Structure 1
């Protein structure tokens, strides 16, 4: 389905589910910009599977959350990796999958981060954030998986799957990169001088 933002000349082809690119830019040379009044900001939650964060990572997480709070409410939740302390990889994936799935609400717009997901440019991430308010969803929820990725329940529930890199990232690094990109997305949406 082709969609055009009323506040830009960007045209995107949006796919409903996983399995293909989220946005295919029809006119690559036109940057996507929003006016400050053009979106409905919805709360963001980031659910991460992993171990306790290091102090340095936590400082960066709090710094970016504070910056994003100027635009929308944001919180993050850490789900313990391998909660049953099993050596069985499949059992670990299922336990982590259940922990994340229990945090999802029916009205969430769910974005799963995965190394095989769609690669987005920063402007496309801004569109994702801006368009989330138009979906009728009450919250934009990002899922960062554990060491073996996401389980089947979370993958099926995802509205879209994206990647931050073709390389595998530690969950703590992935969280910081995601937060920085969310902050960058908001500065793009607001036309502020952070993204060049």
Structure 2
């Protein structure tokens, strides 16, 4: 019996501007190909006023949140990257991936908010809110780190060596 490959869908806001991040992402996308289909959906940032009020920020986050959630497919398990989420190790991520596969989940979605963060709607919709640490990283940098951690979790789950 052929085991079907997992699908990984990263849904995010804003283009990557730095060449070194793009190069790193391309490298991990190449490494991930043998293990499953990886799709990255990049949505445009909403325009934030120069001196936004709290209401302006909430409104923009709500608009971005609705746009992001529209791309989460039915039946996909939703991880939301949130600095206030559960701190997760690479090993715990590998365990979660394996557990979801055993229960028949064939697609994992990951939402990374834009530069202003996440809406409460996204936080509530998450199946699991995860954090790679309490440090603040740019939404662009976290995209590279997420791809690296997906790759690492797959290698751990398959008991394969991880070499860079």
- Which residue of structure 1 aligns with residue 53 of structure 2? none
The alignment status of 1:43 with 2:7, answered yes or no, reads yes
Specify every segment of 5 or more residues in structure 2 that has no aligned partner in the other structure, as ranges: 50-55
TM-score if structure 2 supplies the norm length?
A: 0.86
Is residue 16–residue 22 contact of structure 2 (8 Å, CA) maintained in 1? no
The alignment status of 1:118 with 2:86, answered yes or no, reads yes
Q: Distance in 1 between matches of 2:120 and 2:71?
A: 15
Specify every segment of 5 or more residues in structure 1 that has no aligned partner in the other structure, as ranges: 1-36
Is residue 12–residue 113 contact of structure 2 (8 Å, CA) maintained in 1? yes
Is residue 40–residue 134 contact of structure 1 (8 Å, CA) maintained in 2? no
Q: Where is the helix percentage greater, Structure 1 or Structure 2?
A: 2
The alignment status of 1:58 with 2:22, answered yes or no, reads yes
- Which residue of structure 2 aligns with residue 76 of structure 1? 40
TM-score if structure 1 supplies the norm length?
A: 0.73
The structural deviation recorded for 1:128 is 1.7
Instruction: Give the secondary structure class of the aligned counterpart of 2:39.
Output: strand
Q: Distance in 2 between matches of 1:174 and 1:161?
A: 14
- Following TM superposition, the consecutive aligned residue runs of length 4 or more in structure 1 with deviations greater than 4 angstroms are none
Q: Distance in 1 between matches of 2:151 and 2:65?
A: 27
